[in-house]
Amino acid sequence: SSAIYRLARASRKREGLAESLPAASFGAEGTVTSFDLEVTPLPTGETLWRARRRASGDKVRVSGDPLLEDAPIGFFSASPDGKIHYMNGTLRAWLGFEAAKDGIAVKDFVAGDTGRVLGKDKRRSGGASRAEVMLKARDGIESSAVIVTTWPTDNDRRKTSRSVVYGLTATGAPPGVAQALAAPTTGEAGSMLDAMFANAPFGVARLDGVDVGNAMIEDANPALLDITGGAASPGRKFADLFDIDSDAASALEEAGAGGVRAQLTLANDANRHVDVYFAPDRGGRKAAYVIDVSEQKKLENLYMQAQKMQAIGQLAGGVAHDMNNMLTAIRGNADTLLESHPVGDPSYSGLQKINQMVSRGAGLVRQLLAFSRRETHRSELLDLAATLSNFSILLRQILEENVKLETVHGRDLPYVKADKGHLENAIINLATNARDAMRDNGGGVITIRSGRATHEDIHGVPESELVEGDYAMIEVADTGVGMDDETAQKIFEPFFTTKEVGKGTGLGLATVFGIVRQSGGHVTVESKRGQGTTFRIFLPAYAPSAEELAALKAASERLKAEPPAVSLNGRGRILLVEDEAGVRKISALTLRNRGYDVIEAEDGEEAFDILQDDPGGFDLMVSDVIMPGMDGPTLLRKAREQLADAKIVFISGYAEEHFSETLSSEREVSFLPKPFSQRGLAERVKSLIGEVE
């Protein structure tokens, strides 16, 4: 049909044209015959059509055909013994063969078994085979590639293979632009060319001129019709297939002139990205190759997002360490001044405002760390139903009076391992966002549901990231204004917010994303304009041992039984290890004022020397995690014998992932995040060392 179309077009334009039709079945007997067709304009205004049956011995020369020669993937044809009959210009350029020469065999450029590469097991039955190989160029460089070979289905011993080479391109075309091409062929070169492009998984179009910006489509293969949703029909302007702005027009013109690729999007689908290449075709026209790279673009965007997250994480880690040290020192000194400036003192209000600003700064740092998954994470066994029930009491105090909170717990909820504080922080972020979304409507309902799910219930997450098995689900749904699809795709990005300037940092949902992923889970969103929004958190189910269940029950009972401490004074010998002088001095002063004997060390090496000189002489060690030289965890490992039965408290505003693993495995190690209040430090020490004697 494509050849007939071109001939008819030439006839209408009063031009002469000859075409070689591929093999086709004619007549009742079903014999396969090939024809050469020619149209010639006559002076009388009529057109003469000539049809000539092509004998079986006739060959059509295609080695110089630009459509095949300059395709962005490699083609070759070989006999069963591996002798090359044809190799297109692209493949010759890759391999360093300047021109096709007699005597070239597959073994000259492919390492390994030639029979396996050519799929000899398919030679008699026909069909396609695929082989991953190493191509050997003439300059000695080896590169990985894939060769797909198809054999004709007839029994002619003289038949040759049709082979496609991809995965290695000088033009930058992505791997996967060619696949198994299983259409039968007669083995004739002209038929091989037509069959290749008719069944190729990338788009091919013949254009009626060399000006690619104005050229019309003469013919398009099925793949191009599929890529463009049927838009690439003959007679349509080729450039109209794409979303053409000034940049795209320049890219298209440059590609048509110089053989480079044009990166474009389709006019009828902005999410469909394609690479377009051009090559000279017969009769002074152009051939266009259109390769769908939408999936590759998605991967590139994901990779760029991952790089952005990693960069923010590294920045957040460095900022958090220094910021939290400064905030701890500021808060510590403010707390000390508050002891001598009680309520009613003129300075009391100013000191309280300092502490409020410290808390806001610490909250921003925590959000950055949570988003980048670098917040110190301590996993513990959680009974999800009990955790959510206890937490809902606090949550009701955060919400406004016109917001109704409903909780619905599913049956047979699985246990999970997560950081309780972080999980509660994530739910608070979701609930406060839901509250804000319903504010313009005068309030509404927030529903928190829990239930059991499987990996098949998780939608909107790549399958490669899902682990088969059971999950615990926490759903936070609201009756607010909802979001459109474009907004929903961006909500987990850092600093993206739909709130007015000054009313949102854009880190709330990014924090939720980081917390959930740090726990090995997933978070999804479902929203429609005017119908509210539903967030779902999926955490992997955990099967606890009998000992873990007993410890969880004991901790719950202990929490109910223990009354809050009244006095924060105590006795005991404490080794305080902190490289930041401001934090170390104010913390030591606080503990000494409460009756403790405090020995200071400015780094891990000094602390280790003190412990060696006085083994077993301390009741408690309070140590920073990140210090120059020997850090806190290393000090703990090296000085276990000297520490004897001493309790351990690590303090830090930022810790690497391996420290979070240490915290989860070292049940006797306590952690106090910076910036902490001096009262918080005194309460932690009192809880570990005990009452004053």
DSSP 418-460: E-HHHHHHHHHHHHHHHHHHHHTTT-EEEEEEEEEEEGGG--S
Q: What is the pLDDT of residue 279?
A: 82
Report residue 67's pLDDT band, with 50, 70 and 90 as the boundaries. low
CA distances from 71 to 91, 289, 516, 660 (A): 9, 7, 47, 53
Q: Which residue has the higher pLDDT, 585 or 652?
A: 585
Q: Lowest-pLDDT range, 320-324, 484-488, 606-610?
A: 320-324
Could you report the per-residue pLDDT of 343-394, keeping only the tens digit for each? 888 888 888 888 888 877 777 776 666 555 555 566 788 888 888 887 777 7
Average pLDDT, the chain: 77
User: Does residue 576 surpass a pLDDT of 90?
Assistant: yes
Q: What is the pLDDT of residue 193?
A: 44
Residues in contact with 187: Cβ distance below 8 Å, sequence separation at least 6, in sequence order? 152, 154, 156, 158, 159, 160
Nearest CA to 391 out of 420, 413, 365 is that of 420
Q: Which residue has the higher pLDDT, 73 or 375?
A: 73
User: Does residue 611 surpass a pLDDT of 90?
Assistant: yes
> Which percentage of the chain shows pLDDT scores above 90?
9
User: Does residue 276 surpass a pLDDT of 80?
Assistant: yes
- Helices 348-371 and 294-340: angle between axes, nearest 10 degrees: 160
Q: What is the pLDDT of residue 236?
A: 86
This prediction has a pTM of: 0.43
Q: How many CA atoms lie within 13 A of 335 on its CB side?
A: 23
Could you report the per-residue pLDDT of 145-160, keeping only the tens digit for each? 778 887 776 555 556 7
User: Does residue 610 surpass a pLDDT of 90?
Assistant: yes
Q: Which residue has the higher pLDDT, 273 or 304?
A: 273
Q: Lowest-pLDDT range, 74-88, 306-320, 438-452?
A: 306-320
User: Does residue 609 surpass a pLDDT of 70?
Assistant: yes
Across 233-246, average pLDDT:
86
Across 160-167, average pLDDT:
76
With beta carbons less than 8 A apart as the criterion, state whether 468 and 455 touch: yes
